[in-house]
Amino acid sequence: MATAKKKTAAASKTKAKTKAVTKTKTKAKKSKIKEGDRYQCGVCGMAVTVDEVCGCMETHDIVCCGKQMKAKKK
């Protein structure tokens, strides 16, 4: 009976991990950055256009001249 309890506990942990991964994946899909977004450097004026969104779970900063680039208004 002890092994049955261990298997049940392990199964519930696996389900919890699966739910956590699913939640993080849906957050990645709802990224603020979209294809075609433009960013411009406030120091030198260089502009960048997003060609492809990576879908990573963490946010990436676009840096130029040591400062984060700001979204360029369309």
Q: What is the pLDDT of residue 18?
A: 56
**Comparing 63 with 28, which gets the higher pLDDT?**
63
Max Cα distance, the chain (Å): 70
Task: Give all strands of the β-sheet with 38-40 in edge-to-edge order.
Answer: 47-49, 38-40, 70-71
* pLDDT tens-digit map of 10-55: 666 666 655 555 554 544 445 577 889 999 999 999 999 989 888 7
Q: Length of the chain, please?
A: 74
Residue 57 has pLDDT above 90, yes or no: no
Q: Tens digits of per-residue pLDDT, 27-38?
A: 444 557 788 999
Question: In this structure, what token pair is assigned to residue 14?
Answer: 């696996």
**Distances in Å between the alpha carbon of 74 and those of 23, 36, 63?**
32, 10, 20
